[in-house]
Structure formats: structure tokens, C-alpha cells
Amino acid sequence: MTAADLATFIDQRKKELNAVILAHFYQPPEIQDIADFVGDSLQLAVQAAETDADIIVFCGVHFMAESAKILNPDKIVLAPVLDAGCPMADMVTGEQLRQWKREHPGYAVVTYVNSSAEVKAECDICCTSSNALNVVRSLPAEQPILFVPDRNLGAWINSQTGRGMELWPGYCPIHDQLTAQEIKEQLELHPEAVVVVHPEVSPEVAELADAVRSTAGILKYVQESSAREFIIGTEEGFIYTLQKHCPDKVFHLARSEFMCQDMKMIDLEVLAKALERREHQIEVPEEIRIRAVQSLQRMLAIAP
């Protein structure tokens, strides 16, 4: 089947099933174009919580589809590729977190949404990079906090709030590879460009940036900026989004290889197959879901 044939089938099958297709900004262009909604983790979580569709097809990675199922236990949630995971999410387990809590009583646990359902069930509140600052600021000033699992996002929150949270030693292998030297080299090539990076980058890189934002925040920043040229420090799939929304501006990827392979596993053929066969259905054990949903609902109650 041609790309056009696949797109026609996907559209027809989606209507037959009363399905909605949600896609992350890092997905391939053809998936972004065919999705009903494209956004960052917070925007997608909101859409998943509010949809009246019978089936949610999540074009992203596993924890995103899992979160949608946690929020919608009575709906079918499909992950077109089960193996599309998140290395950062794998850097903490529920048992590891339970052990830490036993050894450090009295801490509130703030968990990045890039985590498993079991980890979410062990935390007090989740956050995304869009609302992480406000989530942390919502907690009492005297409350000691453990931030899980991203040390870089946690370090950036600490720098902005002065909270001094304890940080789990996890990280995004894609964002963490970006170096301060690479930013400096890009600035030498494009001295007029504004540097905007994702908070999953290292503190050394964040210090060189003109702005540190979530993906949705980067898009808003670029749209509102009077600058014409930008160095973008996040996964390469987001450049397509930026070019689509800001065709009059110029974007330079902060490093030559800035790709999350897990985010690139879904294409039109894979999506069509998932809709045709209604696969792969995500399930979350109820005893985990009822605890994890509380932390997600608390997250959704706090705006960016």
C-alpha cells in the first residue's frame, strides 16, 4: 500500500472504531500529520484524560500509553509498538523506590511522568517538564523531596526554586549526550541564534541556554520570540513541528545525532496494522492503577 492508501485506511478504521490517535512531538512527520492531537507529555495526558473516544491509540513510548490506560481504565489503549520504551523510565523500579523510601522516611516523592506505572504508584505526585516547577512549588517549603528519575530535570528545578531536592541518578541518554562544547560550536556557526533547550539536558548545557523549556514551551517561546534563528536542544523530530508552525524562522539542531530510536519505531504501516488488529492493548493491574492514578490526577490539577 502507498502512503496515501495507508492514510486513507487509518482514517476510515479510526472512524469505525471511534478511536483517537495521540502522537508525541518526537514522532516521525507522517505520524504527526495523521494524528488527531500532537503534543508534549502533559498535553497528551490531558487529552487522554478528556477524550470521549472508545479507543486511544498512543504514538509515543510505552509509559505514555500506560499513563493513558491509568487515566482511562474502561477504554482500550493501543501501543502500536510494545518495544518502544524509555531508557530513563527503566532506570528506577518500584522496588528500588520502595527501598529508598524505607531508608528515608518523611520525603515527598515527585516523579517525572517518564516512569512506569509501578513507580507512579509509589510517588506522591507526578509532573511533566511543562509543569514541574509549579508541581514542586506546590509542596510545603519545609517538605524534603526526592525527585525521580531524571537528575537533569531535577537539577534544573533546584536551580530555579532553590529547593535542594534529592535527585535519583537517572537521565535521558539522548538529551544527556548534548555537551556544552557542542552548543558553543553551534553558536560559532550561528552567532545570531537563540539557544533553547529541553530541561533533560545537563546543567552545563542548560547554563548556556537563553531559555530552558519543555517541548510545548519551546514551541511557545519560538512563536512569541522576535528572533529569527534558533539552536534547538531536543530530539530531532521536534524540528518538523517547529518548521510547520513557524515556517518563517530558521532552526539548527544542537547536535548532529539527536534521535530517540524508540520514538521512531512507529510508521504508517505499523499504525495501520495496530488499528486493523486492535493491537497491542495496554493493561495495568488494578492495585497499581488505583494508586498511580492519584499521582497523575494531582499532576493534571497543576497548570504549567
What is the pTM assigned to this prediction? 0.96
Structure confidence at residue 121 (pLDDT): 98
The span from the CA of 30 to the CA of 181, in Å, is 33
Domain boundaries, the chain: 3-85+263-283, 89-172+291-300, 174-262
The span from the CA of 223 to the CA of 225, in Å, is 6
The yes-or-no answer to whether 3-85+263-283 and 89-172+291-300 have a common fold is yes
Q: Which long-range contacts (CB under 8 A, 24 or more apart) does 99-103 make?
A: 100/146, 101/146
Structure confidence at residue 83 (pLDDT): 95
Structure confidence at residue 84 (pLDDT): 97
Give the CATH superfamily of 174-262. Answer: NadA-like (3.40.50.10800)
DSSP-derived 3-state class of residue 113: coil
Q: Is-contact 169 219, C-beta < 8 A?
A: no
Structure confidence at residue 199 (pLDDT): 98
CATH number of the domain located at residue range(s) 89-172+291-300 in this protein: 3.40.50.10800
Can you list the residues of the chain whose pLDDT is less than 50?
none
Which architecture does CATH list for 3-85+263-283? 3-Layer(aba) Sandwich (3.40)
Summarised one tens digit per residue, pLDDT across range 160-202 is: 999 999 999 999 999 999 999 999 999 999 999 999 999 999 9
